[in-house]
Amino acid sequence: MSSTQPVTVLESLPDEVLLVILSYLHAIDRLRTFKKLNSRFDRCLREVGVGIDDELASDEPLVRKFALRTIFIRCNERNEELDLSQFPALRSLTLADGVWPQVVTINPEEMPVIQHISLRSKSVFNIEEAHTELFEDVLSNKYPWLISIHLSHGIFHLNRELLDAFNPCDRIHSATIGFCHVTLFELLLCYLPNVSMLDVRVDDWHLANRIRNVKAMPDHWQQTSLCFLTLHLDHPFKKRHFEWLVNRLPVLIHLDVDSRHDENNPHRLWTYNTELMETFSEVTRTQNAND
């Protein structure tokens, strides 16, 4: 039984022909495909003059060489020099500390196939406005491939244009919203009918002490996709609020509530079966006992 490997058509070509073929490929594609494949290809790459050192030695910034092929960007620190307009093939974008010029660069024309956007910022200059405008574009279905949107400073509010052209954003499955008034919470869920994970800060939660104050939808309405919900509240979270959420969210299986004004228990975590309405009080007692 022979142990030799079959020779490919490309490998059977003479060096002269192979060099001509390699010269038609982009330098980065040549290196990524053939570098260190075997000694013969390494020699041909050196002869055709496509070493990575030659690429790096040029005056052109390296990011421009890869920009058209870049599909994933994650910046864990602020990088104000990063120009997002040069990445048309981008699928996923994460900025741990994005600045205003970068946020306003994000648009469906520059990033037509973007699927994931996650933006946080320590800056205060116009960031809320930029995040909010981006979120409004998302709700207007201007990003056809987007499935997750996380905006630490985004505000959900209804302007006339958005309300008149109401069209649910069906593709979003995961979202983080920086601010939503309690009276608009149900409307937010209407705009995101298929969201399964939601993290949102809800203000004026005290209005929910009377549930009728915050019901924007008919009594029979439900959002049937949301499984994991994180709420950041400015007032205590009560059992009646829990029951209201369970009635609206029949598939909810995990609830994380950060209620900063709840002196007895400033941070609560509930995991429950929605069929057991008493689970709320039982788990709460357990949490308090553990504290």
Q: pLDDT at position 127, please?
A: 93
Sequence-distant (6+) residues with CB within 8 A of 33 are 25
Q: How far is Cα 154 from Cα 76, in angstroms, rounded to an integer?
A: 20
Q: In what order do the strands lie in the sheet with 228-233?
A: 72-75, 92-95, 116-119, 148-156, 174-181, 197-203, 228-233, 254-259, 267-271
pLDDT digit string, tens, across residues 216-228: 888 889 999 999 9
pLDDT tens-digit series, residues 82-134: 889 989 999 999 999 999 999 999 999 999 999 999 999 988 778 999 999 99
Q: Residue 209 has which token pair?
A: 């002490």
Q: Which residue has the higher pLDDT, 107 or 284?
A: 107
pTM for the whole structure = 0.72
277 or 134, which is more confident: 134
Contacts of 130 (CB under 8 A, 6+ apart): 100, 103, 104
Work out the average pLDDT over 199-206: 93
Q: How far apart are CA 177 and CA 172, in angstroms?
A: 13
List, for residues 240-255, the tens digit of each pLDDT value: 888 899 899 999 988 8
